[in-house]
Structure 1
Amino acid sequence: MSVRMVGSRAKTVDYESGEGTGTASVLVVQTLPAFAVDGAADARPLSRAAQRLVTYLALRDRPVRRAEVAHALWADSSEEHGAASLRTTLWRIGRVHRDLVQATAERLSLSDTAAVDVQAASSLARSLASADAELPDDSEPVIGLLSTDLLPDWYDDWLFVFRERWRQLRLHALECLAGRLGEAGRFSEAIDAALTAVDAEPLRESAHRCLIRVHLLEGNRGEAVRAYRALAELLHTELGVRPSPGVRALLA
């Protein structure tokens, strides 16, 4: 699946092969769902500190001041210790992937030959919301990608905003994809996309609304009523509220 990267390192990357279309060798930094660096001849793993540094730069997608990086990654250390830890980590990254990080006296960034999977995935997710964009011939790998969390086993505070941004983006994309597939008569795929959104966030009414609408488009009113009742019971049990008027209106 080829998608267009966004940001200063724009290029087309194939998720299956990790190959770029440029002439330079592309290192793909993977964060969905686990960290990896693909495309390098040296397969030695990076240390945890190195992984965190590479991920921080990958998610920022712009040159970042050294002091900012050191403060974010070594927040519990003194300024001097954080700066020393940063220098050591950069040296260790360079021993494994010499061309992965660009460093100046003031700022750090990923190399121009490095691509980031979540940046490409975000570009794909945004494109699915456009009515003019073509639907994928095979939605299964797209839905699989949009079901994936960003580094769910990491608990760094600085990661929260990036994780939440990706979660919201992928949920919106799944809902848009479900609606467009349903309107195209691809009901099985549409239901899969809607159920994936519901599974990712069970209390998200817009995801349930997509599922109910797809059932109605297919002519399965009984399935739509069952999905509505499941939502109503869940909201009553968890939040003590009823489905919104917009959801109730679907079955009026």
Structure 2
Amino acid sequence: MGVSVASTTSGLTPGPTSTRRSTGTAPTRLFLLDGFRLVHDGESAGVPRGLQRLIAVIGLHPGCSRSYLTGLLWPDIPEERALSRFRTGLWRLRKYPCRIMIADGDSVRLDPGIVVDVDDLVRVATDVRADGDLRLAFKVLTAGRDDLLPGWYDDWVLLDRERLRQLRLHALERIAHAHVRAGEFGEALQASIEALRTEPLRETPHRLLVQIHLAEGNTFEALQAFYSYRELMRRDLHLEPSTAMYDLVEPILKPLRDGGRSRRTVGTSTTVRSGSV
């Protein structure tokens, strides 16, 4: 089972990544999160690693020129040689019955019927910015917690992996903030904790946890979240939390410090008076 390339002269007009839609009951699916997998007619298609790289880079950079794509795939070889490899890859894809790519002059993109998991993640994160359905967004963002193409270390993969990770993190934080504003603290906690799973040292979700606990009146849990983060920063990075983080808990810590000083002062005064007597 495999894939093929078609030209737009066949009557198909390529569309942007965000407009890919299934045209049948069992669409071909391309999974790039948690590893490469191409599924056609409900079965995984065996694709050699070299062609996997070609399909993945086109899926992540739809409509880009061949020169740009070859520069990503083979940055250390002359352009003509890289373009020759690219053409060979496209020719190999034509041998398979399942069409996955469309060549439009100098640009290449996936067939509009291909459903890509990365597209779902990007679309949902965009919907969050547009005040979309927060519960649906959280469900999809949770399902997309896996890294892009783990075990691949090409520069373009590393950059896209970080791009998607940051996109997902910011979307989760926006979801949490929106739930806090709506007074939905349980949902806000879920989104914040999901962001923490993605990046344990990122301060923003830790700050959100403290804010949520304070909004619910749970002072002990707010302090516990603060101290846990401070210990994590000191142990792993030898750094302190930001001023903004300290400011969140200062209204709680100041009375505790003042109370401690008062007790010490009272104790000292009593001792002096006892000694003088």
Normalised by the length of structure 1, the TM-score is: 0.80
Give CA deviations for 1:16-74 in whole Å, capped at 9, x if unaligned. Answer: xxxx3x56974332212222223447743111111111111111122x32233233223
Tell me the SS of whatever aligns to 1:202: coil
Among all aligned residue pairs of Structure 1 and Structure 2, give the percentage whose two residues are the same amino acid: 33
Aligned twin of 1:51: 52
Aligned: 1:134 with 2:133: yes
User: Among 227, 235, 238, which residue is 2:236 paired with?
Assistant: 238
Trace 1:40-189 onto structure 2 (pairs within 5 A): 40=41, 43-62=44-63, 64-96=64-96, 98-104=98-104, 106-130=106-130, 132-136=131-135, 139=138, 141-189=139-187
Distance in 1, Cα, partners of 2:205 & 2:248: 13
**Residues 1:35 and 1:214: Cα distance change in structure 2 (over 3 Å):** same
* Contact preservation (8 Å) 1:42, 1:96: no
Aligned twin of 1:8: 16
Distance in 2, Cα, partners of 1:189 & 1:196: 11
Structure 1: gaps spanning 5 or more residues: 1-6, 14-19
Distance in 2, Cα, partners of 1:138 & 1:79: 41
CA shift at 1:150, angstroms?
A: 1.4
- What one-letter code is carried by the residue in structure 2 that aligns with 1:111? D
Distance in 1, Cα, partners of 2:67 & 2:132: 41
Give CA deviations for 1:159-203 in whole Å, capped at 9, x if unaligned. Answer: 222111111111111111222234444433322221221222122
**Residues 1:54 and 1:205: Cα distance change in structure 2 (over 3 Å):** same
CA shift at 1:234, angstroms?
A: 1.8
- What one-letter code is carried by the residue in structure 1 that aligns with 2:57? Y
- What one-letter code is carried by the residue in structure 2 that aligns with 1:30? F
Q: Which is higher, the Rg of structure 1 or of structure 2?
A: 2
Aligned twin of 2:201: 203
Distance in 1, Cα, partners of 2:42 & 2:92: 16
**Residues 1:237 and 1:88: Cα distance change in structure 2 (over 3 Å):** same
Distance in 2, Cα, partners of 1:92 & 1:41: 22
- What one-letter code is carried by the residue in structure 2 that aligns with 1:59? L
Give CA deviations for 1:182-226 in whole Å, capped at 9, x if unaligned. Answer: 444443332222122122212211111111122222332211111
Tell me the SS of whatever aligns to 1:100: strand
- What one-letter code is carried by the residue in structure 1 that aligns with 2:241? P
Structure 2: gaps spanning 5 or more residues: 1-14, 252-277
Distance in 1, Cα, partners of 2:20 & 2:184: 28
**Residues 1:134 and 1:123: Cα distance change in structure 2 (over 3 Å):** same
Normalised by the length of structure 2, the TM-score is: 0.74
- What one-letter code is carried by the residue in structure 2 that aligns with 1:89? G
Tell me the SS of whatever aligns to 2:121: helix
* Contact preservation (8 Å) 1:44, 1:96: no
Aligned twin of 1:216: 214
Distance in 2, Cα, partners of 1:61 & 1:218: 45
* Contact preservation (8 Å) 2:19, 2:112: no
Aligned length: 236
